[in-house]
Amino acid sequence: MKRNLLAATVAIGIVTLMGCNKEKEPELTTSIQQASYGIGLNLGQSLAQDGLNELDIDALTLGMKDALGGTDARVDEKDIIAAFGDLQASLEARANEADEEAQQAGADFLAENGARDGVITTESGLQYEVLESGDAEGAQPGASDVVTVHYEGRLIDGTVFDSSLSRGEPIDLPVAQVIPGWVEALQLMRVGDKWKVTIPSELAYGPASPSPLIPPNSVLVFDMELLGIQGQDEGQEQDQE
C-alpha cells in the first residue's frame, strides 16, 4: 500500500501552527488560533489514518520552526531522503501485514458463516440469509432499475459503518451503480424481502476503501430491506385504481 510521503511531509509542517508549547497550552480564543487548531486537528487525523501517528513531534516542530525562521537545515537532504525511504518501507510492511490479517479474518468469517443453517452461498461467493420474505410473486429489480432500500452495514466485528436505519430514512439507489455484492443481492431479492447479506471483500471494495471506517480487504455484512422499485410502484398503484 503506497503512501505519499512527500504530500504528508508538506502537511506535517503546518501542525506547529497550533502553537505547540510544552510548558503551557496555547489559547484557542481568536479566529487565527481556532483556525490553526483546526488545521492541526485535521492534519493529525489524516496522518493517523495514514499510519503516521508515531512521528517524533518534537523533531517535527523543530523542522517547522527552522523553516519558518530561515535557519539552515540540521539534517542533510540525502539523509532526509533516506529516512523517508525507511519510513515508507515501514509503512508498507505494516500495511501488508494488516492486509494479510484482514484477508485471513475475512476468509475465516465467511467459512464459519457459510456453514450456518439458512445461509445460502452463491457461485460468486456472496452469502445471504432470508430474515423476512415479501410476496412470493413480488417484483424483482433489474440492473437498470432504481430501488428504495433500508440497510445497515457492519464490519465482521460488529462495527456499524453506515446505516439508513439510524438516519430514519431509506435511500434510492441505481442497482448498477453500487458495489458488486449489492448488484447481485438486489437482483435476487423481491420487494418486501429483508436479508442479511455477507459480502466478500472482492465483491465489496477490495484493497481500496471509500472511508476510514472500512479497512482495506474488509468482508461487509448488511441487513438489507428492499422497499420498492421506482416506476413499478407507480404502475401498481395505477393498476389498483
Can you read off the three cell numbers belonging to residue 37?
Answer: 487548531
Measured distance CA(37)–CA(116) in Å, rounded: 50
The enclosing H or E element of 167 equals helix 164-167
Could you tell me if 217 and 106 are in contact, meaning their C-beta atoms sit under 8 angstroms apart?
yes
Three-state SS for 79? Answer: helix
- Among 156-160, 172-176, 211-215, the least confident range: 211-215
Residue 179 is among the residues annotated as catalytic for this protein: yes
Annotated active-site residue in 37, 84, 99, 161: 161
Percent of the chain whose pLDDT exceeds 70: 87
Annotated active-site residue in 128, 151, 156, 199: 151
Annotated active-site residue in 50, 128, 145, 205: 205
Q: Could you tell me which of 176, 186, 173, 175 has the C-alpha nearest to residue 222?
A: 186
Annotated active-site residue in 14, 37, 66, 179: 179
Q: Is the pLDDT of residue 157 over 90?
A: yes
Annotated active-site residue in 50, 109, 222, 229: 222
Predicted local distance difference test score (pLDDT) of residue 233: 52
**Domain limits, CATH 3.10.50.40, in the chain:** 116-240
Mean pLDDT: which of 51-55, 86-90, 195-199, 210-214 is highest?
195-199
Residue 84 is among the residues annotated as catalytic for this protein: no
Residue 161 is among the residues annotated as catalytic for this protein: yes
Predicted local distance difference test score (pLDDT) of residue 125: 97
Residue 151 is among the residues annotated as catalytic for this protein: yes
Tell me the average pLDDT of the chain.
85
Predicted local distance difference test score (pLDDT) of residue 175: 97
Annotated active-site residue in 12, 162, 193, 199: 162
Q: Is the pLDDT of residue 235 over 50?
A: no
Residue 162 is among the residues annotated as catalytic for this protein: yes
Burial letters 2-28, b for 16+ CB under 10 A, else e: ebebeebbebbbebbbbebeeeeeeee
Higher-confidence residue of 6 and 227: namely 227
Q: Give the right CATH number for 116-240 from 3.30.70.270, 3.10.50.40, 3.40.47.40, 3.90.650.10.
A: 3.10.50.40
